[in-house]
C-alpha cells in the first residue's frame, strides 16, 4: 500500500470523526425547521469557511427562524438587525457616549458584536450603513472613535434581500456584493413540506425548544480540518476553467456568451469556490473533493459575481442562465 493511500485512509477517519457534529446539528434543527435543507447546508458552508451569505427570497420562508435556530444549537450569540432607510452606521456598530458624571466618553457597542447576524433587507438602508456592515465582514473588526475591537469568532452575516418590492431600496453595488461568499435563492416549500409546516406551526402555546448541541469551538476546529481535505490538481483546474469561462468565454467555445457578459467573476470566486467545495466534501464526511462538490456549490458562488450586458437583459438572460450554460459546456474532469 502506498504512503498516499495510508495518508488518505488516516485523513478519511479524521474527517469522519471531526465532521460527525454536522449530523447532530441537522437532526436538532429538524425539530423546528421543515425542508430548507439547502439553506441550512449553505449556512453551514459559510460558517465552516468563514464566509458570509446573501439570501434572496420572499418573506415567510423561515429565514429568521433558521438563522436564530442555528445560533441556538451552536450556543452562539445572535442579533437580527432590521435595515431601514433611517438606520445610521452607529445603530449598527455602536458609538461613543459622553458620561457627564465621569466627564469622559465610553463605548456603547452595537448589535454587530454577535456571532451570527441577520441583516434583514440590507438593501433598505443607504450605502453608508451597508459599507459599515461590509467593512466589519471583511476586516472582522470594528473601529469606534480611536478604539478598534475584534469581532468574536465564529462570525457569520446572513443578509437578506426581498426580490419582490424594489421601491425605496438601495441595491448593493457589485463590488460589495462580491464580498459575500454565497448568494442563495430560496424558493417556496413543497406541498408536502407546507402541510408539515402548517401542522407544526398552526398551534398556540408552547413551541418545540432547541438544545445547545455543538460548542462554537467545534466550528473553529473544523475550519482547520477543512484545510487538510485533498483536492486533486484536475479539480483545481476545473475551478479555474469555470471562473475563466465567465471572463473569456471564447476560449471555452462559448462564443455566444461573449456579448452577454459585461464583467466575469473576480478572483474571490476562485478562492471561495475552492473553500466551499472543501466544506461540501467535509459535510459529506469525505477526505477529498470531487468535481460534483464544485458543481453543487458553483451556482451559489458565481450567480452574484457575473454582470450581464444590456443585450443579455434585453433577451431576458440573467447570470444564472450564463452560469448554467458554462457548467454544461466546460469539461468536467
Q: What is the CATH number of the domain that holds 98?
A: 3.40.50.300
The pLDDT value given to residue 163: 67
pLDDT of residue 167: 56
**310 assigned to some structural domain:** yes
Q: What is the dihedral of CA 231, 19, 150, 64, to 10 degrees?
A: 110
Please give the average per-residue pLDDT across 138-159, as a whole number: 85
In the listed set 190, 219, 248, which residue is the last one of a domain according to the structure? 219
For residue 256, the 8-state DSSP code is: G
| DSSP codes, 68-85 | HHHHHHTT--EEEEE--T
Q: What are the angstrom distances between the C-alpha of 142 and each of 53, 129, 135, 279?
A: 19, 13, 8, 28
Q: Which domain holds residue 257?
A: 228-329
Q: What is the mean pLDDT of the chain?
A: 85
Q: Looking at the structure, tell me whether residues 169 and 259 fall in a common domain.
A: no
Flag whether pLDDT at 6 surpasses 60.
no
In this model, does residue 33 exceed pLDDT 50?
A: yes
Same domain, 192 and 262: no
pLDDT of the residue at 4: 47
| Pair 137, 262 in one domain | no
Same domain, 133 and 236: no
For the stretch 40-98, pLDDT in tens is 899 999 999 988 999 887 777 777 888 888 888 988 888 998 888 888 888 888 888 87
Q: Based on the structure, what is the number of domains in the chain?
A: 2
| pTM metric for this prediction | 0.87
**Domain check: are 162 and 42 in the same one?**
yes
CATH number of the domain enclosing 315: 1.10.8.80
Radius of gyration of the chain (CA): 21
Q: Roughly how many angstroms between the first and final C-alpha of the chain, as a whole number?
A: 25
> Using 50, 70 and 90 to split pLDDT, how confident is the model at 204?
low
Is 153 found in the same domain as 276? Answer: no
On the question of pLDDT at 166 being above 70, the answer is: no
| Residues 171 and 40 placed together within one structural domain of the fold | yes
Percentage of the residues of the chain whose pLDDT score is greater than 90 = 23
Shared-domain flag, residues 124 and 232: no
Q: Are residues 80 and 173 in the same domain?
A: yes
Rounded-to-integer distance, Cα 232 and Cα 11, Å: 15
| Structural domain ending residue among the three candidates 159, 184, 219 | 219
Would residue 209 count as lying in a domain?
A: no
Domain boundary among 219, 247, 275: 219
**36 and 79 co-located in one domain:** yes
pLDDT band (50, 70, 90) for residue 238? very high
Which span out of 31-40, 189-198, 214-223 was modeled with the highest average pLDDT? 214-223
Say how many C-beta atoms besides its own lie within 10 A of residue 270's C-beta. 17
Together in a domain, 45 and 185: yes
Residue 207 lies in a domain: no
* Alpha-carbon 26 to chain mean position: 17
Is 45 within a domain?
yes
Amino acid at each position: 500500500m502506498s504512503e498516499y493511500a495510508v495518508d488518505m485512509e488516516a485523513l478519511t477517519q479524521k474527517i469522519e470523526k471531526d465532521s460527525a457534529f454536522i449530523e447532530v446539528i441537522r437532526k436538532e434543527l429538524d425539530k423546528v425547521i421543515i425542508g430548507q435543507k439547502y439553506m441550512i447546508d449553505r449556512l453551514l458552508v459559510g460558517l465552516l469557511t468563514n464566509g458570509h451569505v446573501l439570501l434572496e427570497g420572499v418573506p415567510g420562508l423561515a429565514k429568521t427562524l433558521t438563522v436564530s435556530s442555528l445560533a441556538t444549537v451552536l450556543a452562539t450569540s445572535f442579533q437580527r438587525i432590521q435595515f431601514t432607510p433611517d438606520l445610521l452606521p452607529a445603530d449598527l456598530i455602536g458609538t461613543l457616549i459622553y458620561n457627564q458624571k465621569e466627564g469622559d466618553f465610553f463605548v456603547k457597542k452595537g448589535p454587530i458584536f454577535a456571532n451570527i447576524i441577520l441583516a434583514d433587507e440590507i438593501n433598505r438602508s443607504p450605502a453608508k450603513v451597508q459599507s459599515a456592515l461590509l467593512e466589519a465582514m471583511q476586516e472582522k473588526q470594528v473601529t469606534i472613535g480611536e478604539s478598534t475591537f475584534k469581532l468574536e469568532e465564529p462570525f457569520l452575516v446572513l443578509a437578506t434581500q426581498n426580490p419582490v418590492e424594489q421601491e425605496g431600496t438601495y441595491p448593493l453595488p457589485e463590488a460589495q456584493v462580491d464580498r459575500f461568499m454565497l448568494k442563495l435563492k430560496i424558493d417556496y416549500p413543497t406541498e408536502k413540506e407546507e402541510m408539515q409546516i402548517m401542522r407544526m406551526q398552526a398551534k398556540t402555546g408552547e413551541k418545540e425548544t432547541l438544545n445547545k448541541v455543538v460548542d462554537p469551538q467545534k466550528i473553529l476546529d473544523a475550519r482547520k480540518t477543512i484545510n487538510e481535505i485533498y483536492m486533486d490538481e484536475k479539480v483545481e483546474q476545473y475551478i479555474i476553467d469555470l471562473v475563466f469561462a465567465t471572463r473569456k468565454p471564447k476560449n471555452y467555445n462559448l462564443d455566444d456568451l461573449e456579448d452577454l457578459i459585461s464583467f466575469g467573476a473576480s478572483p474571490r470566486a476562485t478562492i471561495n469556490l475552492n473553500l466551499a467545495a472543501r466544506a461540501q466534501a467535509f459535510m459529506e464526511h469525505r477526505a477529498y473533493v470531487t468535481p460534483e462538490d464544485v458543481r453543487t456549490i458553483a451556482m451559489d458562488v458565481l450567480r452574484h459575481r457575473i454582470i450581464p450586458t444590456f443585450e443579455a437583459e434585453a433577451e431576458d438572460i440573467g447570470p444564472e442562465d450564463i452560469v448554467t450554460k458554462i457548467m454544461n459546456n466546460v469539461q468536467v474532469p
